[in-house]
Amino acid sequence: MNTLLQELSNDLQQITGWRHHMHRHPELAFEERHTAEYITGQLRSWGYEVATGIGKTGIVASLTAGDGSKAIGLRADIDALPVTEQAAGDHRSTIEGRSHTCGHDGHSAMLLGAAQHLARTRNFNGTVRLIFQPAEEVMGGALAMISDGLLERFPMDAVFGMHNMPGLELGKLYFTSGPVMAAVDNWEIELTGKGSHGSMPERSIDPVVAGASLVMALQTITSRNVAPLDSAVVSVGAFLAGDAGNVIPQSAVLRLSIRSSRPETRKLVLGKVRSITAAQADCYGVAWEIREGTPGAVLVNDAAQTAFAATVAKDLLGADKVVTDGPRFMGSEDFAFFAQRKPGTYCFIGNGDTPMVHHPQYDFDDRNLPVGAAYWVALAESFLR
């Protein structure tokens, strides 16, 4: 076993303790106050300069060694989900209806394990920036930290992220250059017609019929506009209209989840949603309004930094534990907003044959903790050599 990996494996019990503490006390997006206090306490005890309240509940911890001018950013997410946990174990969530069923507790614990080791050894020349980001699950934390001056207040030359992934082999690291995760745009479309009694449809302008037609028309975007070898999803997850069978309502609301795998595809798909909505509304005589959520972003890994990180991982774990043509996912990740502004890469660590993230029975596999922590240390030491 690699010496660094052995050293982090010796810390497994302690790192596991940190994860289990955070797992028992999950907090939702922008509410991670206890989690932030817990993490901050550990970091300050090791000598880090810690800034809190970045993006409301985010943390940036900095440690400098030597006289090097370079800085590296390592990011973990800290928020939980509004999901009632069904997993076994004495570290189960103590808060009903909330749980770390995406593994952010594991991500934070791995980065804490690396933080302790880096502070203990200081085998690098430059500055390490540890970013503990809130509100990933609502796609708001990265932009909130950026708006709070993250990149100006804490300069860094590159930024790196990592996420566990069930279904990928336990303990292996997966790297993919270029687009790796989809942009998500959560839009709401309101169609406004003219209400009437259900027995007199001729006195109405029916938004339900218009909405039903729009739902079907939107399905043609991916089937007839996006190339078969490209990827996009347009899902209408909610159709809200009316309260009674004998009343034609005044309005109908459609809630959409729109995902695209490339920036060009995103532009195409969003344009089609707008034009089809306008055309359908005109056809049925209803007024329409689109309310856009936070603009999505495709997560695009920098080619050079991806190759660098994969080489570091191979040196650490062995080539058989590293996949360099890794998978792409239609899930979304707000690390994309960091990657738009700084070069870097976002890799996956396999969580094995477990329930998928966001499933009530999901749990992070603790055997990954020293692997991920050792990767962060090796990456920082190599980047700041």
Binding-site residues, please? 102, 104, 137, 163, 358
Tokens encoding 157: 């030359």
Classify each residue of 214-247 as buried b or exposed e, where b means 16 or more C-beta atoms within 10 Å of its C-beta.
bbebbeebbeebbeeeebbbbebeeeebbeeeee
Give the chain's largest Cα–Cα span. Answer: 81
Encoded tokens for 189 = 């479309």
Classify the C-alpha dihedral 342-348-349-355 as positive or negative.
positive
Instruction: For residue 355, give Cα distances in angstroms to 92, 179, 225, 371.
Output: 16, 25, 34, 21
Q: Using CA atoms, how far apart are residues 149 and 157, in angstroms rounded to an integer? A: 15
**Residue 138: which residues within 8 A CB-CB, separation 6 or more?**
29, 30, 79
Query: How distant, in Å, are the alpha carbons of 149, 226, 306 from that of 176?
Result: 29, 22, 7
| Binding positions for Mn(2+) | 102, 104, 137, 163, 358
Pair of tokens at residue 73: 């950013």
C-alpha distances in Å from residue 120, one per residue of 74, 376, 378: 17, 14, 14
**What is the CB-side half-sphere exposure of residue 323 using CA atoms within 13 A?**
16
- Distance, in Å, from the CA atom of 100 to the CA atom of 91, rounded to the nearest integer, reads 11
Per the structure block, which two tokens stand in for 141?
Answer: 């934390």
d(CA 72, CA 344): 9
Enumerate residues 6+ apart whose C-beta is below 8 A from 223: none
